[in-house]
Structure 1
Amino acid sequence: MSDALPPQVVMLPGLDGTGRLSMPFVDALRSRGLDARALALPCTGQQDYATLVEALRPQLPAQPFVLLAESFAGPLAMELAAGPLPGLRGLVLCTTFARRPVPLPASASMALAPAWPLPPLPPLPLMARLLLGRWRTRSNQQDLQDALAQVPTSVLRQRAAATLRVDVRALLCRIQAPTLNVQALQDRLLWPRSVSELQALLPNARHIAMEGPHLLLQARAEPAAVLIARWINTLPR
Structure 2
Amino acid sequence: MIDPTPLPILVLLPGMDGTGRLFDPLLHALPPNVAVQVLRYPTDQVLDYPALVERVWQQLPLDRPFVLLGESFSGPVAVSIAARRPSALLGLVLCSSFVRNPRSALAPLSPLLKLLPLRHLPFWPMDALLLGGFSTASLRSALAAAIAQVTPQVLRARLQSVIAVDASQALVATDVPLLYLQARHDRLVPASASILIRQLRKDARLVAIDGPHCLLQAAPTEAAVHLQRFMHELAQARVALNGS
Smaller-chain TM-score bracket: over 0.9
How far 1:47 moved relative to its partner?
A: 2.4
Cα distance in structure 1, aligned partners of 2:3 and 2:87: 20
RMSD over aligned CA atoms reads 1.7
2:140 is aligned to: 141
Cα distance in structure 2, aligned partners of 1:217 and 1:230: 16
**Is the CA contact (8 Å cut-off) linking 2:14 and 2:39 kept in structure 1?**
yes
How far 1:123 moved relative to its partner?
A: 1.9
Cα distance in structure 2, aligned partners of 1:152 and 1:199: 34
How far 1:131 moved relative to its partner?
A: 0.5
1:19 is aligned to: 20
TM-score between the two structures when normalised by the length of structure 2: 0.90
**Is the CA contact (8 Å cut-off) linking 2:70 and 2:95 kept in structure 1?**
yes
Matched ranges for 1:178-197 at <5 A: 178-197=177-196
The letter of the residue matching 1:86 is S
Matched ranges for 1:1-237 at <5 A: 3-29=4-30, 31=31, 33-62=33-62, 63-104=64-105, 106-112=107-113, 116-120=114-118, 122-235=121-234, 236-237=237-238
**Is the CA contact (8 Å cut-off) linking 1:90 and 1:179 kept in structure 2?**
yes
* Percent of matched pairs sharing the same residue: 41
How far 1:33 moved relative to its partner?
A: 2.0
**Is the CA contact (8 Å cut-off) linking 2:43 and 2:149 kept in structure 1?**
no
The letter of the residue matching 2:116 is L
How far 1:106 moved relative to its partner?
A: 4.1
The letter of the residue matching 2:37 is R
The letter of the residue matching 1:180 is L
**Is the CA contact (8 Å cut-off) linking 1:103 and 1:191 kept in structure 2?**
no
Name the count of aligned residue pairs: 233
Deviations 1:147-202 (A, max 9, x none): 01111111111101100000011111211111101111100001332232122112
**In structure 1, the residue corresponding to 2:225 is in which secondary structure?**
helix
The answer for unaligned runs of 5 or more in structure 1 is none
TM-score between the two structures when normalised by the length of structure 1: 0.92
Deviations 1:182-236 (A, max 9, x none): 1111000013322321221121111111111100000111111111111111112
Cα distance in structure 1, aligned partners of 2:57 and 2:109: 29
**In structure 2, the residue corresponding to 1:189 is in which secondary structure?**
coil
Q: Which deviates more, 74-83 or 84-93?
A: 84-93
